[in-house]
Amino acid sequence: MIDNSIFLSDLGIKEVNEGTSSGSNWILSKGNCNEVFSPVDGKKIASVIETDEEAYEKILKISSKSFIEWRKITAPNRGEIVRQIGNALRKNKDQLGRLVSYEMGKSLQEGLGEVQEMIDICDFAVGLSRQLYGLTMHSERPNHRMYEQWHPLGIVGIISAFNFPVAVWSWNAMIAMVCGNVCIWKPSEKTPLSAVATQNIIGKVLKKNNVEGVLNLVTDCSNQILGKKIASDSRISLVSATGSTRMGKSVAEVVGKRLGKSLLELGGNNAMIISENANLNIAIRAAVFGAVGTAGQRCTTTRRLIIHDSVYDKFKLLLVKAYGQIKIGNPLNEDNHMGPLIDKNAVKMYQEAIKKIKEEGGKVVIDGEVLRGNEYNSGCYVSPAIYEVKNKFKTVQTETFAPILYLIKYNKLSEAIDIQNAVPQGLSSSIMTSKISEAEEFLAASGSDCGIANVNIGTSGAEIGGAFGGEKETGGGRESGSDSWKAYMRRQTNTINYSDDLPLAQGIKFDF
Give catalytic residue positions.
265, 299
Burial 278-317 (b: 16+ CB within 10 A, else e): beeeebbebbbbbbbbbbbbbbbbbbbbbbbeebbeebbe
Give the C-alpha separation, 504 to 377, whole Å.
76
User: Helix, strand, or coil here: 241?
Assistant: strand
Distance CA 352, CA 356 (A): 6
Q: How many other C-beta atoms can be found within 10 angstroms of the C-beta atom of residue 35?
A: 11
Reference 485, options 81, 114, 129; nearest CA is: 129
State the amino acid at position 97 in one-letter form.
Answer: G
Sign of CA dihedral 160, 165, 167, 169: positive
Mapped to the 3 state alphabet, what secondary structure does 340-361 carry?
CCCCHHHHHHHHHHHHHHHHCC
Strands of the 144-152 sheet, one edge to the other:
136-138, 144-152, 489-497
Residue type, 53: E
Q: What pairs with residue 491 in β-bridges?
A: 150
Alpha helices in 105-166 (DSSP H): 108-128
**CB-CB contact of 185 with 35 (8 Å):** no
In the chain, count H helices and then E strands. Answer: 14, 22
319 secondary structure, DSSP code: H
Q: Is the dihedral angle over the CA atoms 176, 181, 182, 186 positive or is it negative?
A: negative
Cα distance between residue 301 and residue 432, in whole Å: 16
- Collect all residues with Cβ–Cβ distance below 8 Å to 151 and sequence separation of at least 6: 71, 180, 489, 490, 492
Give the three-class secondary structure for 322.
helix
Burial (CB count within 10 angstroms: exposed 0-12, middle 13-18, buried 19+), residue 371: middle
